[in-house]
Structure 1
């Protein structure tokens, strides 16, 4: 499958193409599926893995190439393996993963990933996400195991409460927030609670990855109204409402 104009742009930006092979899959909940893959040499070419590392996966939709970014789950550079997790809905990515079988292949491009914690390392994490960003959330929590973390997690289905959160009950507090009013309810919940929890902004780190509009709203609030420096706010819209 060709990658169209997006593939040309990624090539110009030094993106590197790989082919992954499915080795297995498991249904985590009725709305969340995990697929296991060999990496086609990606981790060796990248020099290993870093927290929240992601790749662009290519799917075909209406006869055209279509790419979406997914976080690597449990990457093993020595074995050349990792998993990907998919929040299921309508679309080419969900259609592919629902039927993925051992031996199936999928094309991917490595371009744009990167991660660095601020200095000094944060004593407190404030994490805001949803099922689409759960793999990255788990990766982030594992990267800062000594930090205390408060997580606001937006849910769209009852099954989201059974997702594979990797939490330390002694350090992590999880708030499940039902999705309402296109994300406005999540914004209200965070704005109501965060000021009393934040403490010294220079010791905190905010990581926000929800739909694009919600992410922008919360990132702007943290920087402009709470005085958190841009170096200590990592905000990336993972999807757009339609």
Structure 2
């Protein structure tokens, strides 16, 4: 399958193409699906870093359709990793539901990166939702022992069953139902953030929600709380349609 104009642009931006092979699948609750892969040589070339993601190509009625997914437990030595799909309607989740051992899929590595904050965070404040849970888990795994408060926007009662990797000695989870297009999450984070960040030179705020929410909270942290650019990592993971 060709990758259309998006694929051309990614090539111009030095994107690297790989073919992944499915080695197994598993359901994680009723709204999360995990697919295991061999990496087609990717990790041997690139290594792995926290929150690392790839653009995976799916067929959408004969047209190329790409979505970004965070690698779960990447293992460069064995060339393996998993992807987790927060299930909803669409070609990516349709593919994941139907995936079987031996199936292959194409992906492009371009745009991913992570810089470990220096000085080390006194506390991580992470804001996300089911779409960004794999990245949140990756971040917490990368900074073991660092206290963290996770604001997690939920849309369904079964979200409590998702595969959080929380250390009860260091991590606090604040689950917030999605209301008014993310307005409740914004309000609760804004109310809590000034007290949570402590010393702004060691604060670290990581935000990955819908694009509008992410933009609003990142602006608040940088402009209202005066956090330095390198102490706020923000990326909109999806666009709300309602």
Number of the residue aligned with 1:13: 13
Q: TM-score, normalised by structure 1?
A: 0.98
**Cα deviations across residues 137-171 of structure 1 (Å, max 9, x unaligned)?**
00000111121100000011111111110011010
**Cα deviations across residues 30-63 of structure 1 (Å, max 9, x unaligned)?**
11000000000010111x1111111000011132
Partner secondary structure for residue 201 of structure 1 = coil
Number of the residue aligned with 1:54: 53
**Structure 1: distance between partners of 2:186 and 2:27:** 30
**Structure 2: distance between partners of 1:117 and 1:222:** 19
**Cα deviations across residues 3-52 of structure 1 (Å, max 9, x unaligned)?**
00000011111111110010100010111000000000010111x11111
**Cα deviations across residues 71-114 of structure 1 (Å, max 9, x unaligned)?**
00001111100000000011111110011100111100011111
Number of the residue aligned with 1:234: 233
**Structure 1: distance between partners of 2:121 and 2:193:** 16
Q: CA RMSD in A?
A: 0.7
1:45-194 equivalences under 5 Å are 45-46=45-46, 48-194=47-193
Number of the residue aligned with 1:36: 36
Q: Which runs of 4+ in 1 moved over 4 A?
A: none
Answer yes or no: is the 8 Å Cα contact 2:17–2:108 preserved in 1. Answer: yes
1:22-33 equivalences under 5 Å are 22-33=22-33
Unaligned runs of 5+ in 1: none
Unaligned runs of 5+ in 2: none
**Cα deviations across residues 110-129 of structure 1 (Å, max 9, x unaligned)?**
11111002211111100000
Q: TM-score, normalised by structure 2?
A: 0.98
